[in-house]
Amino acid sequence: MANPEHLKILKRGFEDWNKWRKEHPDIRPDLSSADLRGADLSDAFLIDADLSDADLSDASLSGANLFRAVLSGADLTDADLTDADLSYAYLYFAIFGNICLGDADFQYAKLLDTIFYNVNLKKAKNLDTCNHLGPSSVDYLTLQKSWPLPDKFLRGVGFPDNWIEYLPSLLMQPLQYYSFFISYCHTDEGFAELIHDSLQGKGIRCWKYTKDMPVGEEIRPTIYDSIFRLHDKLLLIVSEHSIKSEWVKDEVEAAFDKEKELEGKKAIIPLNIDKSYLETNVAWVVKLRQRRFADFTDWKNHDKFQEAFKELLKWLKTDQT
């Protein structure tokens, strides 16, 4: 537990704290397990301080000197460590979540089961010198925001060499579009083939499988697995034929279920190739009528198709769907 006197001085502000530290250089501050949520510790002189298991979430530690400080088990979620000196600090089991680390110095910092999530490490200094006593956790958002990261740091936190080899190709070219499964009835194969080839031609990942074909029952679960595990959205071709399809109905209902997990985001993008969706009383179609449809009614006309496809591309961009 934190020393009450030390904690009291710290809460008076960094000027009083820094003055006390200079007057008592032999005292090692004990701030272990302290509740310092939202505290302003900017420019604080915290060399050798014991901050193990402290709650530093939302705290401002910008410019703080944490040289050789013990931050094992500390929660630094949403904290600001811009320009902080973390050199030789003990960061075992510490949580760096959604944190500001611009120009923070990690020279010879000690890591073990340290957690980095949704963190931009791009401007952090001396990551390649960190001392890794075991693996740590680095999430995809951190990789995406921080790329490129030193290979030595990646190996230290536990990434195998074959992953490190492929990370550049995964992170240097972020996808602009979601991936799509095209749901349609076999009667609409002509349009499905055209939209599939047109999307592929624009580098948009999509996959299709003809519905209502005489396939074995064992294939159906595999198709559903491909839709809802491997693809982000369902590109639904709505026509008088697909409205009658039981397979299309099942896929749409499964996509509705998926949307419940997406916090308001839509998993279905409907494309109509006739006006039957405006006239039917089929439940899933009635529900979809509340949404925007991409109108391909005149898809057999080349110019009309290109015009509608251009609008669809704008819609399919990740930041617009």
Q: What is the CATH number of the domain that holds 86?
A: 2.160.20.80
pLDDT at 156: 93
| 192 and 269 belong to one structural domain | yes
pLDDT at 84: 96
Which of these ranges, 33-37, 52-56, 228-232, has the smallest mean pLDDT? 228-232
Query: Which of 139, 155, 174 is where one domain is finished?
Result: 174
| 249 and 155 belong to one structural domain | no
Contact 72, 92 (CB under 8 A): yes
Residue 87 has pLDDT above 90, yes or no: yes
Q: How open is the CA angle 119-121-122, to the nearest 5 degrees?
A: 130
Number of domains in the chain: 2
In single-letter form, the type of residue at position 283 comes to: A
Mean pLDDT of 265-281: 92
Condensed to tens digits (0 to 9), the pLDDT of residues 105-114 reads 999 999 999 9
Mean pLDDT of 262-279: 88
- Sequence-distant (≥ 6) Cβ neighbours of residue 196 within 8 angstroms: 182, 206, 208
Q: Pull the structure tokens for residue 82.
A: 């811009």
pLDDT at 309: 95
Q: What is the CATH number of the domain that holds 264?
A: 3.40.50.10140
Mean pLDDT of 158-180: 74
Contact 291, 277 (CB under 8 A): no
More confident residue, 39 or 247: 39
Which residue has tokens 């839709």? 227
**Over the chain, what is the mean pLDDT?**
87
- The range of the structural domain enclosing residue 65 comes to 1-174
In single-letter form, the type of residue at position 218 comes to: E
Residue 209 has pLDDT above 60, yes or no: yes
Mean pLDDT of 250-278: 85
| 226 and 193 belong to one structural domain | yes
Q: Pull the structure tokens for residue 227.
A: 């839709």
Which of these ranges, 191-200, 206-215, 256-265, 279-288, has the smallest mean pLDDT? 206-215
| 26 and 140 belong to one structural domain | yes
| 236 and 252 belong to one structural domain | yes
Q: How many other β-carbons are positioned within 10 Å of the β-carbon of residue 91?
A: 27
pLDDT at 215: 42
| 164 and 297 belong to one structural domain | no
pLDDT at 318: 52
Q: How far apart are CA 321 and CA 132, in angstroms?
A: 41
Residue 319 is given by DSSP the state G
Residue 21 has pLDDT above 50, yes or no: yes
Angle between helices 189-201 and 302-316 (to 10 degrees): 60
| 169 and 184 belong to one structural domain | no
Percent of the chain with pLDDT over 70: 88
| 32 and 166 belong to one structural domain | yes
Residue 191 has pLDDT above 90, yes or no: yes
| 157 and 185 belong to one structural domain | no
Which residue has tokens 């958002």? 141
Q: How far is the CA of 120 from the CAs of 42, 125, 142, in angstroms?
A: 20, 12, 6
Query: Which of 174, 204, 236 is where one domain is finished?
Result: 174
| 22 and 160 belong to one structural domain | yes
Torsion sign over Cα 35, 10, 120, 72:
negative
DSSP string, 5-44: HHHHHHTT-HHHHHHHHHH-TT---B-TT-B-TT-B-TT-
Long-range contacts at 274-283 (CB < 8 A, ≥ 24 apart): 274/239, 274/240, 276/238, 276/239, 276/240, 276/243, 277/238, 277/243, 280/243, 282/243, 282/249
pLDDT at 144: 86
Percent of the chain with pLDDT over 90: 63
| 90 and 208 belong to one structural domain | no
Query: Which of 153, 174, 195 is where one domain is finished?
Result: 174
pLDDT at 181: 85
**pLDDT band for position 217 (50/70/90)?**
very low
Residue 57 has pLDDT above 90, yes or no: yes
pLDDT at 172: 65
Q: Which of 285, 302, 291, 290 is nearest to 239 (CA)?
A: 285
Mean pLDDT of 168-183: 69
| 148 and 266 belong to one structural domain | no
